[in-house]
Protein backbone atom coordinates (compact mmCIF):
# COMPACT_ATOMS: atom_id res chain seq x y z
CA UNK A 1 0.00 0.00 0.00
CA UNK A 2 1.43 3.39 -1.05
CA UNK A 3 1.16 6.21 1.46
CA UNK A 4 -0.06 9.65 0.26
CA UNK A 5 2.68 12.26 0.06
CA UNK A 6 1.03 14.18 2.91
CA UNK A 7 1.37 11.10 5.12
CA UNK A 8 5.04 10.76 4.18
CA UNK A 9 5.73 14.31 5.30
CA UNK A 10 3.85 13.65 8.58
CA UNK A 11 4.74 10.13 9.82
CA UNK A 12 2.21 10.17 12.67
CA UNK A 13 -0.59 10.57 10.12
CA UNK A 14 0.61 7.43 8.36
CA UNK A 15 0.64 5.45 11.59
CA UNK A 16 -2.92 6.61 12.33
CA UNK A 17 -4.13 5.43 8.91
CA UNK A 18 -2.50 2.01 9.33
CA UNK A 19 -4.01 1.61 12.83
CA UNK A 20 -7.48 2.56 11.56
CA UNK A 21 -7.34 0.00 8.75
CA UNK A 22 -6.18 -2.71 11.18
CA UNK A 23 -9.06 -2.03 13.61
CA UNK A 24 -11.62 -2.01 10.78
CA UNK A 25 -10.34 -5.36 9.50
CA UNK A 26 -10.52 -6.92 12.98
CA UNK A 27 -14.11 -5.73 13.46
CA UNK A 28 -15.10 -7.17 10.08
CA UNK A 29 -13.69 -10.56 11.01
CA UNK A 30 -15.53 -10.46 14.37
CA UNK A 31 -18.92 -9.58 12.85
CA UNK A 32 -21.53 -12.42 13.16
CA UNK A 33 -22.59 -14.30 10.09
CA UNK A 34 -26.03 -13.09 8.85
CA UNK A 35 -27.41 -16.65 9.02
CA UNK A 36 -26.73 -16.98 12.76
CA UNK A 37 -27.23 -13.42 13.94
CA UNK A 38 -30.93 -13.98 14.69
CA UNK A 39 -30.36 -17.24 16.61
CA UNK A 40 -29.57 -16.30 20.23
CA UNK A 41 -28.23 -18.94 22.57
CA UNK A 42 -30.68 -20.41 25.09
CA UNK A 43 -30.40 -18.90 28.53
CA UNK A 44 -28.80 -21.08 31.19
CA UNK A 45 -31.43 -23.07 33.07
CA UNK A 46 -34.17 -22.26 30.54
CA UNK A 47 -37.10 -24.62 30.10
CA UNK A 48 -36.62 -27.53 27.73
CA UNK A 49 -38.63 -27.21 24.49
CA UNK A 50 -41.95 -29.01 24.50
CA UNK A 51 -42.16 -32.06 22.23
CA UNK A 52 -44.68 -32.02 19.42
CA UNK A 53 -48.15 -33.15 20.39
CA UNK A 54 -50.47 -34.89 20.82
CA UNK A 55 -50.64 -35.66 23.65
CA UNK A 56 -50.63 -32.01 24.69
CA UNK A 57 -48.49 -30.89 27.57
CA UNK A 58 -48.89 -28.13 30.15
CA UNK A 59 -45.91 -27.19 32.31
CA UNK A 60 -42.20 -27.90 31.99
CA UNK A 61 -41.29 -30.56 29.44
CA UNK A 62 -38.36 -31.63 31.64
CA UNK A 63 -40.42 -32.08 34.82
CA UNK A 64 -39.70 -35.29 36.72
CA UNK A 65 -43.38 -36.13 37.28
CA UNK A 66 -46.21 -36.19 34.75
CA UNK A 67 -49.92 -36.14 35.51
CA UNK A 68 -51.73 -37.89 32.67
CA UNK A 69 -55.23 -36.48 32.91
CA UNK A 70 -58.19 -38.31 31.34
CA UNK A 71 -60.99 -35.81 30.86
CA UNK A 72 -64.32 -35.18 29.14
CA UNK A 73 -64.98 -31.64 27.89
CA UNK A 74 -68.66 -31.96 28.89
CA UNK A 75 -67.94 -33.32 32.38
CA UNK A 76 -68.95 -30.79 35.10
CA UNK A 77 -66.40 -32.21 37.56
CA UNK A 78 -63.64 -31.88 34.96
CA UNK A 79 -64.70 -28.31 34.25
CA UNK A 80 -64.54 -27.37 37.94
CA UNK A 81 -61.22 -29.16 38.41
CA UNK A 82 -59.50 -27.70 35.33
CA UNK A 83 -58.55 -24.23 36.70
CA UNK A 84 -57.61 -25.66 40.11
CA UNK A 85 -55.25 -28.24 38.62
CA UNK A 86 -53.80 -25.65 36.23
CA UNK A 87 -52.95 -23.35 39.17
CA UNK A 88 -51.41 -26.29 41.05
CA UNK A 89 -49.19 -27.19 38.08
CA UNK A 90 -48.11 -23.53 37.84
CA UNK A 91 -47.03 -23.69 41.48
CA UNK A 92 -45.20 -27.05 41.15
CA UNK A 93 -42.69 -26.98 38.25
CA UNK A 94 -41.54 -30.51 39.09
CA UNK A 95 -44.87 -31.78 37.67
CA UNK A 96 -46.37 -31.36 34.20
CA UNK A 97 -49.83 -32.23 32.91
CA UNK A 98 -50.53 -34.35 29.84
CA UNK A 99 -54.06 -34.25 28.44
CA UNK A 100 -55.84 -37.41 27.24
CA UNK A 101 -59.38 -37.31 25.84
CA UNK A 102 -62.03 -39.56 27.33
CA UNK A 103 -65.43 -38.43 25.98
CA UNK A 104 -68.13 -40.33 27.88
CA UNK A 105 -71.02 -41.90 25.97
CA UNK A 106 -73.55 -40.10 28.18
CA UNK A 107 -72.18 -36.76 26.94
CA UNK A 108 -72.09 -37.53 23.23
CA UNK A 109 -72.02 -36.10 20.62
CA UNK A 110 -71.06 -32.82 22.30
CA UNK A 111 -68.11 -34.33 24.21
CA UNK A 112 -66.47 -35.60 21.02
CA UNK A 113 -67.22 -32.36 19.18
CA UNK A 114 -65.41 -30.43 21.91
CA UNK A 115 -62.49 -32.86 21.85
CA UNK A 116 -62.20 -32.48 18.07
CA UNK A 117 -62.15 -28.69 18.35
CA UNK A 118 -59.44 -28.73 21.02
CA UNK A 119 -57.39 -31.30 19.11
CA UNK A 120 -57.48 -29.24 15.90
CA UNK A 121 -56.56 -26.10 17.83
CA UNK A 122 -53.48 -27.95 19.08
CA UNK A 123 -52.63 -29.34 15.66
CA UNK A 124 -52.61 -25.89 14.07
CA UNK A 125 -51.28 -23.80 16.96
CA UNK A 126 -49.33 -26.07 19.32
CA UNK A 127 -49.52 -26.76 23.04
CA UNK A 128 -50.52 -23.28 24.27
CA UNK A 129 -53.30 -23.03 21.67
CA UNK A 130 -54.65 -26.43 22.68
CA UNK A 131 -54.95 -25.40 26.35
CA UNK A 132 -56.55 -22.08 25.34
CA UNK A 133 -59.18 -24.00 23.40
CA UNK A 134 -59.87 -26.30 26.38
CA UNK A 135 -60.28 -23.25 28.65
CA UNK A 136 -62.68 -21.66 26.14
CA UNK A 137 -64.74 -24.84 25.87
CA UNK A 138 -65.05 -25.25 29.63
CA UNK A 139 -65.97 -21.56 29.97
CA UNK A 140 -68.70 -21.71 27.33
CA UNK A 141 -70.18 -25.21 27.38
CA UNK A 142 -73.46 -25.80 29.18
CA UNK A 143 -72.06 -29.17 30.28
CA UNK A 144 -73.59 -32.63 30.73
CA UNK A 145 -73.70 -33.18 26.97
CA UNK A 146 -75.48 -29.93 26.11
CA UNK A 147 -72.40 -28.48 24.45
CA UNK A 148 -71.61 -24.93 23.44
CA UNK A 149 -74.67 -22.89 22.32
CA UNK A 150 -75.19 -23.10 18.54
CA UNK A 151 -74.97 -19.32 18.28
CA UNK A 152 -71.48 -19.28 19.80
CA UNK A 153 -68.47 -19.91 17.56
CA UNK A 154 -64.85 -20.46 18.52
CA UNK A 155 -63.19 -17.04 18.03
CA UNK A 156 -59.80 -18.35 16.91
CA UNK A 157 -61.06 -20.59 14.10
CA UNK A 158 -58.56 -20.42 11.22
CA UNK A 159 -58.72 -21.95 7.72
CA UNK A 160 -56.09 -24.50 8.79
CA UNK A 161 -58.12 -25.42 11.85
CA UNK A 162 -61.28 -25.71 9.74
CA UNK A 163 -59.43 -28.05 7.41
CA UNK A 164 -58.45 -30.20 10.39
CA UNK A 165 -62.07 -30.33 11.60
CA UNK A 166 -63.16 -31.54 8.17
CA UNK A 167 -60.64 -34.40 8.32
CA UNK A 168 -60.54 -37.57 10.41
CA UNK A 169 -57.20 -36.72 12.08
CA UNK A 170 -58.69 -35.59 15.41
CA UNK A 171 -60.91 -38.68 15.54
CA UNK A 172 -57.87 -40.96 15.29
CA UNK A 173 -56.23 -39.25 18.28
CA UNK A 174 -59.40 -39.31 20.40
CA UNK A 175 -60.06 -42.96 19.57
CA UNK A 176 -56.50 -44.00 20.45
CA UNK A 177 -56.61 -42.20 23.81
CA UNK A 178 -60.04 -43.65 24.63
CA UNK A 179 -58.75 -47.16 23.94
CA UNK A 180 -55.72 -46.49 26.13
CA UNK A 181 -57.98 -45.39 28.99
CA UNK A 182 -60.01 -48.61 28.68
CA UNK A 183 -56.79 -50.66 28.79
CA UNK A 184 -55.88 -48.87 32.03
CA UNK A 185 -59.32 -49.65 33.49
CA UNK A 186 -60.32 -45.97 33.45
CA UNK A 187 -64.00 -45.40 32.69
CA UNK A 188 -64.85 -42.19 34.58
CA UNK A 189 -63.59 -38.62 34.48
CA UNK A 190 -61.61 -36.89 35.75
CA UNK A 191 -58.93 -39.51 36.34
CA UNK A 192 -55.21 -38.99 36.78
CA UNK A 193 -52.22 -41.24 36.34
CA UNK A 194 -49.10 -39.91 38.05
CA UNK A 195 -45.85 -41.04 36.42
CA UNK A 196 -42.31 -40.73 37.79
CA UNK A 197 -39.88 -40.44 34.88
CA UNK A 198 -36.93 -41.44 37.06
CA UNK A 199 -38.33 -44.67 38.51
CA UNK A 200 -40.82 -45.59 35.79
CA UNK A 201 -43.54 -46.13 38.41
CA UNK A 202 -47.13 -44.91 38.06
CA UNK A 203 -49.99 -44.27 40.45
CA UNK A 204 -53.66 -44.13 39.43
CA UNK A 205 -55.70 -41.36 41.09
CA UNK A 206 -59.48 -41.42 40.82
CA UNK A 207 -61.56 -38.27 40.72
CA UNK A 208 -60.48 -34.66 41.28
CA UNK A 209 -57.55 -34.86 43.70
CA UNK A 210 -56.61 -31.99 46.00
CA UNK A 211 -53.11 -30.58 46.34
CA UNK A 212 -52.10 -32.39 49.53
CA UNK A 213 -53.12 -35.76 48.05
CA UNK A 214 -51.09 -35.04 44.91
CA UNK A 215 -48.03 -34.21 47.00
CA UNK A 216 -48.51 -37.43 48.98
CA UNK A 217 -48.68 -39.39 45.73
CA UNK A 218 -45.46 -37.75 44.53
CA UNK A 219 -43.74 -38.65 47.81
CA UNK A 220 -44.92 -42.24 47.46
CA UNK A 221 -43.50 -42.58 43.96
CA UNK A 222 -40.27 -40.75 44.80
CA UNK A 223 -39.66 -43.17 47.69
CA UNK A 224 -39.06 -45.88 45.10
CA UNK A 225 -35.60 -44.43 44.39
CA UNK A 226 -34.08 -45.05 40.97
CA UNK A 227 -35.11 -48.70 40.61
CA UNK A 228 -37.12 -49.26 37.43
CA UNK A 229 -40.54 -50.63 38.31
CA UNK A 230 -42.22 -53.57 36.62
CA UNK A 231 -44.61 -52.15 33.99
CA UNK A 232 -47.40 -54.59 34.80
CA UNK A 233 -49.74 -52.73 37.16
CA UNK A 234 -50.27 -49.24 38.51
CA UNK A 235 -51.08 -48.73 42.15
CA UNK A 236 -54.42 -47.13 43.01
CA UNK A 237 -55.04 -44.17 45.27
CA UNK A 238 -58.51 -43.25 46.58
CA UNK A 239 -60.43 -40.23 45.37
CA UNK A 240 -59.66 -36.84 46.88
CA UNK A 241 -61.78 -33.70 46.88
CA UNK A 242 -60.77 -30.76 44.71
CA UNK A 243 -60.44 -27.76 46.95
CA UNK A 244 -58.22 -24.71 47.02
CA UNK A 245 -55.54 -26.59 45.10
CA UNK A 246 -52.05 -25.00 45.23
CA UNK A 247 -50.43 -26.38 48.41
Condensed to tens digits (0 to 9), the pLDDT of residues 182-224 reads: 998 999 999 999 999 988 889 999 889 999 999 999 998 888 6
Give the per-residue pLDDT at 224: 66
The Cα-based distances of 39 to 33, 34, 42, 219 in angstroms read 11, 10, 9, 40
- Smallest CA-to-CA distance from 67 within 204, 235, 168, 178 is with 204
Q: At 23, is the pLDDT very low, low, confident or very high (cuts 50, 70, 90)?
A: very low
Is the pLDDT assigned to residue 26 strictly greater than 50?
Answer: no
- Confidence at 53, pLDDT banded by 50, 70, 90: confident
pTM for this structure?
0.72
The CA distance from 75 to 145, in Å, is 8
Nearest to 240 by CA among 199, 190, 198, 202: 190
Q: Are 75 and 190 in contact (CB under 8 A)?
A: yes
CA distance 227 to 208: 29
Q: Which range is least confidently modeled, 40-44, 118-122, 164-168, 191-195?
A: 40-44
Give pLDDT, residue 39.
26
Amino acid sequence: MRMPSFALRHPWIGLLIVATIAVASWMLLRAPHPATESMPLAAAGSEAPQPAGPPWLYGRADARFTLIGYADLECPHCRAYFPALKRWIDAHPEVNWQWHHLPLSMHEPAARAGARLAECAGETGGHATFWQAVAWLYSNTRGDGQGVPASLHYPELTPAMQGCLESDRPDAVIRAQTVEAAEQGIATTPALQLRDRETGKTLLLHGPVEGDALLSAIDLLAAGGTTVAEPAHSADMPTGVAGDMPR
